[in-house]
Structure 1
Amino acid sequence: MMILLYIFIGIAVIQLAYYLGVFGQFAFAKAQKITPKRIPISVIVCAKNEEENVANFIPLLAEQNYPDFEIVLIDDASGDNTLEIFEQFEKQYSNVRLVKVENNEAFWGNKKYALTLGIKAAKKEYLLFTDADCYPTSKDWITAMSSQFTMQKTIVLGYGKYEKITNSFLNKIIRFENVLTTINYFSWAKLGQPYMGVGRNMAYKKEEFFNVNGFIDHMQIRTGDDELFINQAANGKNTTIAFTPESFSISKAKTSFSDFFNQKRRQIATANYFPIMDQLRLGIFYASQLTFVLMAAILLAFQYEWIIVLSIFLVRYIVAWTVVGFSAGKLKENDLKWWFPIVEIVLIFTQANAYFTNLFSKPIHWK
């Protein structure tokens, strides 16, 4: 048991190092300011069978307060009325550009192929991405995201919120997981080691796409138009983050645990293609989370040095809760921080379950 205690202490140190040394970079960062720029922006939206969402959300994009932007709508061979709705928007708004993607046997069902055509069709120098089921939190979304561009910073990682559903514990789990993921990739980006972004809200200069030959190195992988691309193209010199409230986007959260679980499986499957050092950084954190909880439970169950174990357990939770609380405040998710002790346990075992499930079967990807 003594050896187990020493291992438990070592894992606690690892956890504290992550929360204070890594996640603290974002949690305790100074508030951002928006300095409007007149950068020409192409907002890119790729949709496949999203007729209801695009009908509701594209007009919100068209109403943005920004002097120089176009909207590139990509219909990825939809089987519903998405294309017809896009054609109506093209007639209605002078700054809408439509890209029609037909099924291609070599790239069937591959979102990256559709996005590549849209990026090539974009007329502006800077590209801002969101998904068909997303909408901006304000009419200054483009202004807020583009304000973080500089001569050196040509990739901007934003925050994609999920809609709040009252009295739904699953919704709290999904939103909290999203907050923790954002804290993770925001913090590593601030440390100069960006490893991913989310397609719901990110931007980059078009030349960054062509500098790495687009998605060619991972075109055969159905996911990763955001994570794998950013992992390849981003570095400490060219990447920054945007976390002013005006820069957020919002999308609908999953409403069933099975859908959420499958989403987690896809994220984990995509992360398997990260470089080994990124996998290690992520793997060590998630493994130490799980091991910390399990070892604490075993040591407390046997009441072995329980005062020491309980003290370490509480210190770790107070530190983690503080860091997550400050981060959630920056992301305007204050209601979630009170659920941290409960939701974290659920997420730890959900993550582990998704990882082991992926060892025996492959998740389903783009529609």
Structure 2
Amino acid sequence: MIFIIWCVFGLLHLAITAYLSMAFRKYTPANNLKRPKLSVIIAAHDEEENLKRLIPAILSQKYPDFEIVVALDRTTDNSKYHLADCDKVIPIVINEVPADWNQKKYALNEAIKHASGEWLVFTDADCKPASDKWLTSLVKQADDQTSIVLGVSPYQIGHSFLSGYISFESFMTAFAYIGRALHKKPYMGVGRNMMVRRSFFKRMGGYEKIKNIHGGDDDLFIQQHANKSNLSIVLGQDALVWTYPKKSWKAYFLQKIRHLSVGTTYKNRDQLFLGVWHTTHLVFFLLLFFNASQSFFWPMLLFYLFIKLVSYRFAASKIGTHINYMLLPLVDMLYAVLTPVIALWSKLVKDIPWKN
């Protein structure tokens, strides 16, 4: 009986994985020829060193008309002096945050108030565009019906196992939300690589309905306002925004708790989808070792790994990123266990601020 349950959960999880992977076949690069003015929006708290890497990378973009608006949230470093002499950069100094606002959302909101571009391009201070065609790639996907463009922001793979795992985990996040969006069921995006039409942002009320929630400046905005007709996807190496992984497991856990804490506010259909996907994944690995003596154990396990390998490899090729396939069995199992554990932990932690 346990073997049958194991097989059923494994096959159901593989069916969802294949469903997400097949969505990437629907992606078609567009070529919008318009080049509207863009406002790159960044919220930063004591990010001087990161900004020294990011700002030059944005300024080197081969795009004709853009500005960079940086909201400096209660900074104690020299960020504002460094940005003062940067061309196209508008620094906004924030000394206090209203009690009814989340810190990051308030910083982003203040930056948007000073933006003049037709489109708002969101990224984070600890990021770097993968190419000088990043802005152009985003705009190419934005036709007259588009109000939101979702991109991908993978983590750079370092030499530690932690960085390798975080890179895989970020791929899995993109695999799920891009796959669902390509199936016309968007549920989230990442604020490290996302573009929103400024008039649409204002018409939808900006962050007003979610301003006091910790986290969710990206996925909750998508939850509330994205649909199958107003959203586009941008994929490919030129469209990526790389970000740097956390250097300790503690920092990573705190970041994921903040990200996952807003999951309970998702639409029921999205909570159901994610719940089934992660539950089948977890049960498959929890029952794995109870079935090692079964005659069909190895064929089933090899079939599972084969489908995972093919699905992930195809999606990664479309996204423009890379996975360490030698580590796939280990990181896939760790992801199956850690994700629901951190999600449960996030329900118990009440207050994880963006920055102190």
Band the TM-score falls in, shorter-chain normalisation: over 0.9
- Structure 1 residues 358 and 71, CA gap change in structure 2 (3 angstroms): closer
CA distance in 2, matches of 1:207, 1:193: 23
CA distance in 1, matches of 2:284, 2:113: 48
Residues 1:203 and 2:195 are matched in the alignment: yes
CA distance in 2, matches of 1:155, 1:338: 36
Of 229, 236, 239, which residue of structure 2 is paired with 1:244? 236
1:272-287 correspondence runs (5 A): 272-287=264-279
Aligned twin of 1:115: 108
Aligned twin of 2:213: 221
SS in 2 for 1:23: helix
- AA partner of residue 263 (structure 2): A
Aligned twin of 1:133: 126
Aligned twin of 1:57: 54
1:35-184 correspondence runs (5 A): 36-89=33-86, 93=87, 95-107=88-100, 110-165=103-158, 167-184=159-176
CA distance in 1, matches of 2:182, 2:252: 28
How far did residue 155 of structure 1 move? 0.8
- AA partner of residue 285 (structure 2): V
SS in 1 for 2:229: coil
CA distance in 2, matches of 1:169, 1:363: 29
SS in 2 for 1:353: helix
Of 243, 251, 271, which residue of structure 1 is paired with 2:263? 271
- AA partner of residue 18 (structure 2): L
1:286-365 correspondence runs (5 A): 286-300=278-292, 303=293, 306-362=294-350, 364-365=352-353
Residues 1:230 and 2:222 are matched in the alignment: yes
SS in 2 for 1:160: coil
CA distance in 2, matches of 1:149, 1:31: 13
TM-score computed with the length of structure 2 as normaliser: 0.93
- AA partner of residue 264 (structure 2): N
How far did residue 363 of structure 1 move? 5.7
1:223-278 Cα offsets, whole Å, 9 max, x none, are: 11111111111111111111121111112111111211222222221212212221
CA distance in 1, matches of 2:65, 2:266: 35
The answer as to whether partners of 1:128 and 1:202 remain within 8 angstroms in 2 is: yes
- AA partner of residue 135 (structure 1): K
- Structure 1 residues 12 and 58, CA gap change in structure 2 (3 angstroms): same
Aligned twin of 1:14: 12
The answer as to whether partners of 2:180 and 2:187 remain within 8 angstroms in 1 is: yes
The answer as to whether partners of 1:107 and 1:113 remain within 8 angstroms in 2 is: no
- AA partner of residue 269 (structure 2): M
1:164-222 Cα offsets, whole Å, 9 max, x none, are: 31x32111101011111101100000010111111111101112212321111111112
- AA partner of residue 271 (structure 1): G
CA distance in 1, matches of 2:123, 2:110: 16
- AA partner of residue 310 (structure 1): W
CA distance in 2, matches of 1:152, 1:356: 38
SS in 2 for 1:267: helix
SS in 2 for 1:289: helix
- Structure 1 residues 150 and 34, CA gap change in structure 2 (3 angstroms): closer
Residues 1:258 and 2:250 are matched in the alignment: yes
CA distance in 2, matches of 1:193, 1:217: 22
Aligned twin of 2:181: 189
The answer as to whether partners of 1:46 and 1:114 remain within 8 angstroms in 2 is: yes
Alignment RMSD, CA only? 1.9
CA distance in 1, matches of 2:101, 2:233: 33
SS in 1 for 2:72: strand
Q: Aligned residues: percent identity?
A: 32
CA distance in 2, matches of 1:207, 1:272: 29
1:117-146 Cα offsets, whole Å, 9 max, x none, are: 211221111111111111111111110111
How far did residue 149 of structure 1 move? 0.3
The runs of 5 or more residues in structure 2 that have no matched partner are: none
The answer as to whether partners of 2:103 and 2:353 remain within 8 angstroms in 1 is: no
Aligned residues: 355
1:89-123 Cα offsets, whole Å, 9 max, x none, are: 2xxx1x32232223033246621112112112211
The answer as to whether partners of 1:50 and 1:132 remain within 8 angstroms in 2 is: yes
- AA partner of residue 230 (structure 2): N
How far did residue 35 of structure 1 move? 5.3
The answer as to whether partners of 1:31 and 1:244 remain within 8 angstroms in 2 is: no
How far did residue 59 of structure 1 move? 1.9
